[in-house]
Amino acid sequence: MTSCPNPIEVATSWGVLVEHVDGLRRVRQLDPVVAADLVRYLGGDPEEARQDVAAPMLTVRGDELVAFSDNGELVLANGQMVAVSPDVPTSVPVGYHRFYPTGSTAPMTVVGDPAVAAPAPSRGWGLSVQPYALRSSQDWGIGDLGTVRDLARWAAREGATTLSLGPMLAAAPTTPREPSPYYPATRLFLDPLYLSMQDVRAPDGTPVAVSRPAGLSDSAEAPIDRDAVHAAKYSTLRALWSSLDGSPDLLLQDFLAASALPVRLFATWCVLADKLGGDWRQWPTELQDPGSTQVEAFAERHAHDVSFHVWSAVDV
């Protein structure tokens, strides 16, 4: 009788870190079930240790012609595939690539080294700020991108080389608003809460004048009322959207066609959150899968709202 391989040992052979020391200096080991799942995810068999841990590597001068010793296919870092032959030298750009020799299942990592190292930066200074705290006389109760722009221009005039900003990623468009900028709903899109309302444009690109509602805090010392800011900005943007024909401009349509970002999917999620609440786990099961036909049908039924969130996410 043969014994079953230890999942921890198999995972180790695949380069998985199976132990760590926690904050109380206790050694923690990866759960064997998780270890097996990680091996499967990496393309291996949890019952068979990997034999080719040290994959071959070739380092060449980037952007120069290289004569490979075998026929095969070179997959560049950008995904482009190049046929390789020993008879025809191949230009290897700077970056990390994979070479698959014909008739072999063992790929080779090809590193295109830059010919000239990047110059060491000279010493400089800069600012580190949280955008929500950059209050101005023009904002709507919270620091916005307009104030960030003004600060960047001032800092550049004063000789600053760096401006480090806290995250401005989108949270669920529901109230109560998530107060922490470090707990976003997505890492792909900015939060419309940071829009500079003085810079709002219509779908055709025309600047739009909007009035600051009464009741928003003018004090930089007062706590930021994100719910009030959300209500003011979203109601103003929705009113503007409703007064327009609701069709994004041609530049936006071209952007959506060329963009790899799932803008419409994010906009659909925003509408779902607006209608059903920010916790997707509480939604009907059929609406929890973004690829389901039910979600597609929901988006069609709420096409106007989806278009609004597309516009506010990338065009305003």
Question: DSSP character for 208?
Answer: -
Report cis status (omega within 30 of 0) of the bond before 181. no
Instruction: Give the chain's length.
Output: 316
Give the pLDDT of residue 296. 94
Give the pLDDT of residue 267. 93
Contact assessment for residue 274 and residue 299, using Cβ atoms and an 8 Å cutoff: no
- pTM, two decimals, is 0.60
Closest CA to 314 of 197, 130, 188: 188
Contact assessment for residue 216 and residue 229, using Cβ atoms and an 8 Å cutoff: yes
Give the pLDDT of residue 1. 38
Provide block-wise average pLDDT over 10 residues at a time, the chain (316 residues).
Answer: 67 82 78 86 76 66 84 85 88 86 79 71 88 92 94 94 94 92 90 91 75 84 91 90 63 58 88 93 93 94 90 74
Contact assessment for residue 34 and residue 20, using Cβ atoms and an 8 Å cutoff: no
Residue 19 CB partners (closer than 8 Å, separation 6+)? 27, 28, 29, 30
Token reading at 230: 């959300």
Question: DSSP character for 199?
Answer: G
Give the pLDDT of residue 141. 93
Give the pLDDT of residue 2. 43
In this structure, the number of other CB atoms found within 10 A of the CB of residue 287 comes to 17
Closest CA to 229 of 190, 194, 187, 273: 194
For tokens 């990997």, the residue is 50
Give the pLDDT of residue 282. 93
Give the pLDDT of residue 312. 85
Closest CA to 289 of 163, 298, 275, 108: 298
Closest CA to 112 of 97, 102, 122, 100: 97
- Element containing residue 252 per DSSP (H, E): helix 250-258
- Element containing residue 111 per DSSP (H, E): strand 108-113
Residue 36, classed as helix, strand or coil, is helix
Token reading at 138: 């023009």
Give the pLDDT of residue 159. 92
